[in-house]
Amino acid sequence: MLLSVRGLRRLHLAASFDLVSGECVALRGPSGAGKTQLLRALADLDPNEGAVLLEGTASEAIPAPLWRGRVVYLAAEPGWWADTVGEHFPSWSSAAALAERLGLPAACGVWPIQQLSTGERLRLALVRALVSVPPPGPRVLLLDEPTAGLDEVAKAAAEALIAERRAATGMGVLWVTHDATQAGRVARRWLLVRNGLLEESPAPP
């Protein structure tokens, strides 16, 4: 089992589920249901109760920075701490190829963050999540509406990139989306947050 979640509690939400290697599970639910809270708790960014195990090892048994290097959370509104794009990557040369695949020019490494559009920020943050953590890279990727506001071409490119990475490395993905068609496209299993509980859904909800 790649990721096991047992009785995870954060605020008004309780969750138990499993994720196998290479699997993508779509997570849906109304705004304010606690989807983001769940992803943050899985990345151990907020105090929480319950057990989260990565390949059998509980999160508390692993130093938090190491845990987050394996269970990587990508926020819906990603943050930036330096002035230019390239400064946010360990090495821009390794990131440039992925940025190009998502429809950005390789030269965007020198662009100032202030001038980026929302769509550019989302795509660059996705690349950052894939290349910034130490090898072997993310084991689980927690995506919070990673393609919200992207055009169809960019959306398809992002979906393809993530699918490819899953197939190549066995990375698992928990994907929050409000788009039912996308949920059907990217995942074969669907989870629904309802009344503070996480339920399996037989079809894209």
Partner 1 sequence: MTYIQLNALDLALPALLVVLNGTLSVALQLGLERQLAAAALRMVVQLALVGYVLRVLFELGSPCWTGVAALVMVAAAAHEIGARQARPLARGRAFGLGAGCALAAAGSVTALALLTQIRPEPWYDPHYALPLLGMVLGNTMTGIALGLDALTTGAVRDRAAIEARLALGATRQVAMLPVTRAALRAGSMPIVNSMAVAGLVSLPGMMTGQILAGAEPVEAAKYQILIMFLIAGGTGLGTVAAVLGGVYLLSDGRHRLRLDRLGARKNAA
Both tokens of residue 181? 């068609």
In the complex, minimum distance from the CB of residue 200 to partner 1, in angstroms, rounded to a whole number:
27
Place of tokens 């503070």: 196
DSSP class per residue in 76-93: SS----SSBSGGGSS-HH
Instruction: Of 25, 4, 20, give the one whose Cα is nearest residue 186.
Output: 25
Residues 193, 13 contacting (CB under 8 angstroms) = yes
128 or 166, CB closer to partner 1?
128
Sign of the Cα pseudo-torsion (148, 136, 43, 181, in order)? positive
Q: Which positions lie near partner 1, rule CB under 8 A?
A: 43-47, 64-66, 68-69, 72-75, 77-81, 125, 128-129, 132-134
Residue number with CB closer to partner 1 (66 or 156): 66
- What does the alpha-carbon distance between residue 162 and residue 101 come to, in Å, rounded to a whole number? 11
The least distance separating partner 1 from the CB of residue 52, rounded to whole angstroms, comes to 12
User: 109 or 204: whose CB is closer to partner 1?
Assistant: 109
The minimum distance between CB 3 and partner 1, in angstroms, equals 16
15 versus 127: smaller Cβ distance to partner 1: 127
Q: How far is the CB of 69 from partner 1 (least distance, A)?
A: 3
